[in-house]
Amino acid sequence: MELTSTKVIKNLLKKYQAAPLKGLGQNFLIDKSVLRKIIESAALKPSDIVLEIGPGIGTLTQELAKKVKKVIAVEKDRKMIEILREMLEGLPRTEPKVLVRGWNVRNVEIIRGDILKLDPKPYALKPYKVVANLPYYIVSPVIRKFLESKNPPKEMILMVQKEVAKRICAKPPKMSILAVSVQFYAKTEILFYVSKNSFWPRPKVDGAVIKIVPKEPSTRPGLVVNKNLFFKVVKAGFSQPRKQLVNNLANGSKLNKEGVKKWLLKNKINPTQRAETLEIKDWLNLTRTC
């Protein structure tokens, strides 16, 4: 069954009396070339374990299952799970297996639940990758959940809104607090942009597929600076993005303006700079010397 066909998607939804839920970001991929590029970008191996967030009707799930050892698909919508089960019925079953919250067919395990509430321990015991098409409202919490975990994924391939992708992968002088928050833990890259016409229902904005690769535990900045203090300094610096650093940091610390100037100059940062012009290493240096 061609799951990138709008006609097929509509018929499946009608059969199960389902409808795309805007609140869950249910915009179904109808562009085969984009599907192929996502699979290629993930650089999948037969030994890989992939956690897919929001599989929907299984367009991507089927392709993942053909290439990896196991797919763990986490879906919140009960009706989507019913459709997903049907789409996977054609795949050979594994031996019977009891799952507390899931269902198993071939090398795909379906779990009904909210990814933000899911305990990562069961699937994080072995190296894994994350693949997801994320609605705007959960992008930050999902990324934070995985990057801050004790066993982060080897990499994350995420479809997000184009503007969100640009913010996450920004470089000076266009850094944002979101960019700093993600790049503190990982390397980021925009792989390609996706037209809004590649989805049904068509969203209001274009999308982008990004790659997030967590830094090795031994090189994580959290080992050399206090993480809470780091983000306290960053939040103070970005408190009013259009204002100079010296003013923002003076308002957010116990130092007076002159003290903040000396602190910035000590770290070779011009007090008149804005937060968006600083690199991660600048924030690390400020944290070490505050």
Q: 197 among the known binding-site residues?
A: no
Contact 170, 179 (CB under 8 A): yes
Q: What is the dihedral of CA 236, 241, 243, 247, to 10 degrees?
A: 0
Distance CA 6, CA 147 (A): 35
Q: 27 among the known binding-site residues?
A: yes
Q: 285 among the known binding-site residues?
A: no
- If phi over 0 gives left and psi between -120 and 50 gives alpha, with beta otherwise, what is residue 268? left
Listing DSSP states for 61-107 in one string gives HHHHHHHSSEEEEEE--HHHHHHHHHHHTTSPP-S----SSEEEETT
Q: 13 among the known binding-site residues?
A: no
Distance CA 215, CA 146 (A): 12
Query: Per the structure block, which two tokens stand in for 59?
Result: 């367009």
Distance CA 19, CA 30 (A): 16
Distance CA 278, CA 284 (A): 10
Q: 133 among the known binding-site residues?
A: yes
Contact 154, 147 (CB under 8 A): no
**CA 77 from centroid of its chain's CA atoms:** 19
> Nearest-CA neighbor of 159 among 70, 42, 67?
42
- Residues making up the binding site for S-adenosyl-L-methionine: 27, 29, 54, 75, 114, 133
- Residues making up the binding site: 27, 29, 54, 75, 114, 133
